[in-house]
Amino acid sequence: EDQVTQSPEALRLQEGESSSLNCSYTVSGLRGLFWYRQDPGKGPEFLFTLYSAGEEKEKERLKATLTKKESFLHITAPKPEDSATYLCAVRLWAGGTSYGKLTFGQGTILTVHP
């Protein structure tokens, strides 16, 4: 069964303490990996799309990377406002009529203390 696993489940950092979140997937035919940020009680906010191993994307203090079996979301010098749940999702190849179904991981809850 195709699976998406995020680790750790929760991460507590001090302001300025850089770290990484992991998203690993046991799927075949990956056709895109997506990162989202979700604040409590709100809908997910799109961050990045990665399509091929070796690809990297950056936005402010966030940098997403992709290998053949996992993706990392690196957070450099985080601030308290970076506290949120970070979700990853994968899209699989499903034939010519693929509708773009995303399979989501359970998320990593990031808390950044001042």
Partner 1 sequence: DGGITQSPKYLFRKEGQNVTLSCEQNLNHDAMYWYRQDPGQGLRLIYYSQIVNDFQKGDIAEGYSVSREKKESFPLTVTSAQKNPTAFYLCASSLSIRVGVYEQYFGPGTRLTVT
Residues lying near partner 1 in the complex (CB under 8 A) are found at 4, 31-32, 34, 36, 41-46, 49, 87, 89, 91, 98-107
Tell the smallest beta-carbon distance from residue 10 to partner 1 (Å).
12
Is the Cβ of residue 27 or residue 104 nearer to partner 1 in the bound state? 104
Tell the smallest beta-carbon distance from residue 72 to partner 1 (Å).
19
Q: Measure the CA–CA gap between 108 and 106, rounded to whole angstroms.
A: 7
Is the Cβ of residue 24 or residue 76 nearer to partner 1 in the bound state? 24
Is there a contact between 3 and 102 (Cβ–Cβ < 8 Å)? no
